Amino acid sequence: MIVIVDYGMGNLRSVYNKLKRIECDAKISSDPEVISKAEKIILPGVGHFKNAMEKIKEYGLFELLNQKVLKDKIPVLGICLGVQLFTKKSEEGDVEGLGWIDAETVRFSIPEHQKIRLKVPSVGWNSVSLVKTDSLLFKGIDPQELFYFVHSYHLKSTNSSIVLGTSNYSYEFISCIEKDNIFGTQFHPEKSQDQGMQLFKNFVKM
């Protein structure tokens, strides 16, 4: 069973609907008892980093998520804000995250001469350049495919081992990560048509 974690900050239903289309046994829940039985976890998210971390702690999920991901080693997929929560801290609210990966969440810093053309948030389709071409998460996905992004913040890290792929918006940024059982995408696979569907299928099969 896959549990889509409801911490009050996500486009949960669209992720759920995608999983049901591939006939996946999925539930949306904030109930610690349900999450404790999950075989895989998805942490989606749209919203503010600080508020999200406060909700995770308020709902009693902080230690449970650490147990499931870091100790039980079940696969976890973070989407947009969800993957940002994996980082050590964020400029959005200046708070600590879950700390699962060696990275920080920072706001886009667009040079003045590009601000007319490149707005923040970045909204629209963008490509992903894979660093790890053998990743199971991207199996069967054409490298020329585009994915849908909506974000003002992105991951920043000097630890290249966690970087699965990068994208470009004024400059190169980390758009997907992979570390053991931990996966994340800055883009929204649930809004990325067939290639997003394939990514979900790949995660389900892990």
Catalytic residues: 80, 188, 190
Name which of 47, 8, 43, 15 is nearest 153 in CA terms. Answer: 47
Cβ proximity of 166 and 128 under 8 Å: yes
Question: Phi first, then psi: what are they for 61, rounded to 5°?
Answer: -105, -10
Cα 177 from chain centre: 8
* Whole-number Å distance between alpha carbons of 59 and 52: 11
